[in-house]
């Protein structure tokens, strides 16, 4: 599970053996969500509202980079790190 970003205790990652639609995973403590990149829709999981807001703000800022990483992960190539939310 390659980590692509980390901020405020949130870990953002993508898995190599993934399925469509293009998405990423975010973990915070024991909770997690899977978020579709294009629509920023939650596919699975739950996070506290404040944490989810931070993730959505970060994802909106980095949608293009997330989609580029999705293409890399589908080809099982190394992923690019994405700047954290500051």
Cβ atoms 34, 42 nearer than 8 A? yes
Q: Report how far residue 13's alpha carbon sits from residue 10's, in angstroms, rounded to the nearest whole number.
A: 10
Low-confidence ranges of the chain (pLDDT < 50): none
pLDDT 10s digits, 17-40: 888 999 999 999 999 999 999 999
Rounded to two decimals, the pTM is: 0.93
| Domains of the chain, residue spans | 3-74
Percent of the chain with pLDDT over 70: 100
Give the per-residue pLDDT at 51: 97
Cβ atoms 56, 40 nearer than 8 A? yes
Give the per-residue pLDDT at 33: 98
């Amino acid at each position: 599970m390659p980590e692509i970003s980390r901020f405020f205790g949130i870990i953002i990652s993508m898995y190599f053996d993934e399925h469509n639609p293009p998405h990423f995973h975010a973990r915070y403590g024991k909770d997690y969500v899977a978020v579709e990149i294009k629509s920023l829709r939650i596919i699975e999981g739950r996070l506290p509202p404040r944490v989810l807001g931070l993730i959505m703000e970060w994802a909106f800022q980095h949608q293009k980079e997330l989609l580029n990483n999705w293409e890399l992960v589908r080809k099982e190539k190394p992923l690019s790190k994405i700047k954290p939310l500051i």
